[in-house]
Structure 1
């Protein structure tokens, strides 16, 4: 979720502040952002999970990603845990970023078209922008499908004290599927990655024969 939110903010930054984006953003900056995201995820997620297991004395096999509620007033009285609040913030950022990015790209396309007509020059290739829209759409859709129900359940649990083990198990499977589905969808959506995968598969088949 943090990675998706970072990608969404990255696209907003690139479209709404292109000058500062091109001046600041480079490979080193991207690498530092990715490392920071992974570090923040572990700093925020690991200590509460370990404390929850120790305090609640739960078997590790059922720890999963949800904190224990039964028998612990501190977990019952808290409306949302730090992880849940962070997930909600990331979810809102990702969903809100998609229409903002699409609108800005549409405005830029109209502006570029007017410039090419006035200057009587050939329009530049917009394949990169099309791929960006496709990628943004895939990531947003995966978040809505895999995390939307989870966010809804957390809100219902916080407001109405709703608890259903079967629903929790289904939602756990659903948002875990995102980690598998995202790479596959991205490879299928981007031509460059499709070509790389085809070459790798072709070489493997050749070596096997």
Structure 2
């Protein structure tokens, strides 16, 4: 998430930012995010038990978390901490681009995981039969293409026609042409949380329904039943069990979204009327924690991931 704040146009230089708690905490979250997401990514690549179409969405999120922490957050810290009368226009354009192109990938990647888990729960047989690596990869690549198709032209227009000396001092998008920024916030920050929270009750309903169905299905079929029916029941049983395991994944990720995204989205909705610098700092720090927590939640929710981690350390002892 961006660390940019709103500054008064009357200031000729950036505010005097020191190494207080906020930048130190940012550096800690960078370290934890890169190490945690990188380790989980390594396990997904190494362990064949974790391979599957759903893994593509998880890897997509892990990469988005790492890129944001490796590129966007350090750039933002540099802008806040290094004192310049004016940054180069090209540097500011790259900063504005990464500020929105990378931070928007994380919430959209979470939406993809949410919709994928809802499909797995609501229609497990359809999910197992039709979902594939090709579909998952196409959806994730399409996410990156769509976000860049929206953001790149806006950043170019902002830099060529609207950027002022004041904007280059603070390396921000021009406020006189901020409709695209408001669109980013509405669609990719606030809108994504609304989608994730709104579909969770339906997900929970379908999960309970699948649990009841699974309880009624017997694995052993009577001799009078046809092989075809036995195969269908066996497939339905496996699909029900697989979809039931999605409950913990989506529940933890949804809770993380609500806790870490809500303060910043409240700030976005209210800053036109009430500008609270202390609340912004709080929301900023909570949002920075989000990407560092994601890998821990995956490790808690996915048994095969924990087993892959255990196997890795057991092999290292030999």
TM over 0.5: yes
| C-alpha deviation, 1:8, in angstroms | 1.4
**Who is 2:150 aligned against?**
44
**Who is 2:266 aligned against?**
152
Task: Tell me how far apart the structure 2 counterparts of residues 108 and 172 of structure 1 sit (CA, whole Å).
Answer: 39
Question: Which has the higher Rg, Structure 1 or Structure 2?
Answer: 2
**CA RMSD of superposed structures (Å):** 3.4
**Who is 2:137 aligned against?**
31
Q: State the TM-score, normalized to the length of structure 1.
A: 0.75
Task: Tell me how far apart the structure 2 counterparts of residues 168 and 199 of structure 1 sit (CA, whole Å).
Answer: 43
**Who is 1:104 aligned against?**
206
Relative contact order higher in (CA < 8 Å, ≥ 6 apart): 2
Q: String of CA shifts for 1:15-35, please: whole Å, max 9, x gaps.
A: 334455344310111011111
SS of the counterpart of 2:275? coil
Q: Is the 8 A contact 1:44 1:82 kept in 2?
A: no
Which of residues 248, 253, 257 in structure 2 aligns to 1:139?
253
The alignment status of 1:5 with 2:88, answered yes or no, reads no
The alignment status of 1:184 with 2:286, answered yes or no, reads no
Task: Tell me how far apart the structure 1 counterparts of residues 168 and 277 of structure 2 sit (CA, whole Å).
Answer: 16
Q: Is the 8 A contact 1:53 1:59 kept in 2?
A: no
Q: Select between 16-25 and 165-174 the one with higher mean Cα deviation.
A: 16-25
**Who is 1:94 aligned against?**
196
Runs (4+) of structure 1 moved beyond 6 Å?
A: 119-123
Q: Is the 8 A contact 1:94 1:140 kept in 2?
A: yes
Q: Is the 8 A contact 1:5 1:90 kept in 2?
A: yes
| C-alpha deviation, 1:46, in angstroms | 4.8
Change (3 A) 1:28 1:5: same
Q: Select between 80-89 and 129-138 the one with higher mean Cα deviation.
A: 80-89
Q: Could you tell me which runs of 5 or more consecutive residues in structure 2 were left unpaired when the two chains were aligned.
A: 1-106, 223-232
Task: Tell me how far apart the structure 1 counterparts of residues 259 and 287 of structure 2 sit (CA, whole Å).
Answer: 8
Q: String of CA shifts for 1:67-118, please: whole Å, max 9, x gaps.
A: 657xx3443xx5971211112221111111211111011112223334549x
Change (3 A) 1:59 1:167: farther
SS of the counterpart of 2:245? helix
Q: Is the 8 A contact 1:5 1:94 kept in 2?
A: yes
